[in-house]
Structure formats: structure tokens, C-alpha cells
Structure 1
């Protein structure tokens, strides 16, 4: 018995509409290189691979892409993180803060450094998407239970249609990954897939190009 469903949670599908923009959250070496304490989790690496595939198509169709990494000058300008690896390594001059080259095109992507969980918090990503005419935001990156959840809620609060491709995001453990996707899917976003987003981009890009 699903009491949430019985009380109408998740009853409305948001759907993709209009121009899409993609955010790529924290696919930096700290999370994708297994030499680091937080790096190389299987779900994160799966998400990285599918996001890279999605971004290749998106760039071919002139889709706005905003990518971010998390880093600080020193511990003095950090929030009160409870993760020791973040406190010790997430520094602007540390190699773990570099974006993974498999998802980053320096000649195309807009890149921001974020200081909290959400890519939208105190960054220029919202004005960038507004200027580009984005109506639907695609959320990719890691970790599902932290920065993906926070960014999904912020996207919703800014009034964007919000889509999370399940295979483009990842987490340290599968339980929090599934639980948080199920929860935001009840309230704020549609849970989709890389293939569904790619199909939408390919299907609608011609109309945009002629507009």
C-alpha cells in the first residue's frame, strides 16, 4: 500500500517542454577518481558515463550546459561540512577539484564554483538559463541524496520544469539514491532516463533552429 500515492503524491507528470538546459553537478575528480576517498563509487561512474553520452548530443544541438564543482579557498570560508574529505581536499588549488574531462568541454560549457549543495545557490546559473530561454532543466551529477536533491528542489523553486534522468545521477550507496529519487519524484520532478532526454533534444532541436 502506497499511502503517498493514495494521497495524490506524484499524480501529475511535469513533462519536458520548450528549450532544455542541463546542469552537471560535481562530476569533479574528487568523486570520479578512485584515488580520492569519495571517488569511484559505481553508481557515480555509471552516471558519469551516461551524462557524457547525453552531453555529446546536447552540444550538437546547442543546448545550454552549466557545470559546477565544489571548492573553497580554506576551511574558513566553508560551511560546516560533516565530511572530513570535503574539509581536507575540496580546495581551489587541489587536483580533486578539477572537472572530469569526460563531461567537460571548456570551449562550450558554462562553469561555476559552488559553495553549498545546490548549483543554483549564489551562482549565475539561473540568470544564464533565463537569458537562454530555458523552460526545462535536466539535472545530472552526484550525489543523489545531497547536491542532486538540493539542486532539484532549487530548480523547482525557480519555476523550471525539472527532470532527473536516473541513470545520469549517482550516489555512494544505492539505497539513498533510490529513496531520494522516489521522494523528489513524488513532489518536484519527473524521473526519466538519458535516452528519453536525448530523444526529446533530437526531436525538438529542429523546431528551435528554425525559430
Structure 2
């Protein structure tokens, strides 16, 4: 029997997370090191697709006054870093390197909360959860890269903080498609609802209408 059927028989993924009273969005690591092909980790097709779709999502979210937390990963020097096994991270993710700048297509400095994270999760060692607490967010939409690393970590932390967590498949990306698919499948079995951009846009539209009394 295929493994996925065995998971299903054991009740994995049976209960949807759903949506709550107020959404918030996290945008994980859409920095130039991942979105510009001139850098060693940049320009992966799935990441660029995610960037394009996240840009569409954020335009709507800002129009509807949805809280957005944006992050990059950057370090003072190698001494400050965790023990990354990725040479390109060790050599380029320095705070004075142009690769750590956020891609302007997804970052609005006059609107977004900006944090610089030091580990895989946008929540670890940052004030994102405090920001969402003040905003009374109970539903977190996770976007960014990479699915098998920082998206997975951020999604699990969102779950651990007791947020309803949505991961739109076409707003996250990875270097290779197989890890992207595998990690989304696994997250969807346990912690999050894996949805798509249109689902989230419809959710924000409905939330905005309810909030504005339309």
C-alpha cells in the first residue's frame, strides 16, 4: 500500500486548519540573493514564480490593511552565523553585501514590519509574534523561500504559536521541485492548510468585506 494511503488511514490531514478572525502575512527571505540570478543561490524558477505571485498578494493585502512582516537573513560575520553547511550563505549573507537587500517588488518600507532573522524561522529570535499579537492576528499566511528550509521552519513555528497557518503553494518556492512538493505534502498532513494564491485572495476579499461591513 502506498505510504500516502497509510498516512490517510491513520487520520493525517483529516481536519482542516481553516481561517480565523484576522490575517497576517509573513514574507520569508525574498532577498536579492534568492531573486537575482547573478548570485549563487538566485533565480530558481520556483522561487521566481513565488515572488511574482507574492507580489500580487501583497498589493491586495496592503490595500486591505493586512499586517505584513518581511524578513531577510544577514549576519555581521561568520562568527555570528549558525553552522550553515551552505558555502554561498556563509560567503554572501553578510549585512553589508548587496545580496541581503530585500527585493523591491515585495517590500514596502513604509508599510511592512522588517526583521533580520538569524535562523530558518521568521519567528525565531524576532518580534514578529509580538507584532501580530498587537494586531490581533490569528491566521498567518506564509510566503517566500525556500520551501524545504525557511518556509518549513516558519510554518512550524506559526503552528507552534497557535496560529491558523496557510501556505499558498504558488507563493513559496525552492531550488528543486521535489523538495518543494515533499515538504508541502508533509506540512499539509500535520500543521497547515496548503492552498493557492486565489484561495488567499478570496479569503482576504471576504475578510475585508466583513470588516468594512460591505
What's the TM-score bracket when you normalise by the shorter of the two chains?
A: over 0.9
Residues 150-185 of structure 1 show CA distances to partners (whole Å, capped at 9, x for unaligned) of 000000000000000000000000000000000000
1:52 CA displacement:
0.2
Q: What is the 5 A alignment of 1:97-112? A: 97-112=100-115
Residues 50-103 of structure 1 show CA distances to partners (whole Å, capped at 9, x for unaligned) of 000000000000000000000000000000000000000001110000000010
Please, which runs of 5 or more residues in structure 2 have no aligned partner? none
Give the SS at the match of 1:134: coil
Rounded Cα–Cα distance in structure 1 between residues aligned with 2:9 and 2:36:
43
Partner residue in 2 for 1:16? 19
1:174 aligns with 2:163: no
Q: 1:121 aligns with which of 100, 108, 124?
A: 124
Rounded Cα–Cα distance in structure 1 between residues aligned with 2:209 and 2:54:
22
* RMSD of aligned alpha carbons: 1.0
1:209 CA displacement:
3.5
What is the count of residue pairs matched by the alignment? Answer: 211
1:190 aligns with 2:166: no
Please, which runs of 5 or more residues in structure 1 have no aligned partner? none
Q: 2:71 aligns with which of 60, 68, 75?
A: 68
Rounded Cα–Cα distance in structure 2 between residues aligned with 1:86 and 1:17:
36
Partner residue in 2 for 1:78? 81
Rounded Cα–Cα distance in structure 2 between residues aligned with 1:43 and 1:207:
34
Rounded Cα–Cα distance in structure 2 between residues aligned with 1:160 and 1:52:
23
1:43 aligns with 2:46: yes
Rounded Cα–Cα distance in structure 2 between residues aligned with 1:182 and 1:96:
30
Q: 2:165 aligns with which of 146, 151, 162?
A: 162
Q: TM-score, normalised by structure 1?
A: 0.98
1:16 CA displacement:
1.4
Rounded Cα–Cα distance in structure 2 between residues aligned with 1:140 and 1:175:
18
Q: TM-score, normalised by structure 2?
A: 0.97
Rounded Cα–Cα distance in structure 2 between residues aligned with 1:158 and 1:102:
29
1:208 CA displacement:
2.0
Give the SS at the match of 1:137: strand
Partner residue in 2 for 1:202? 205
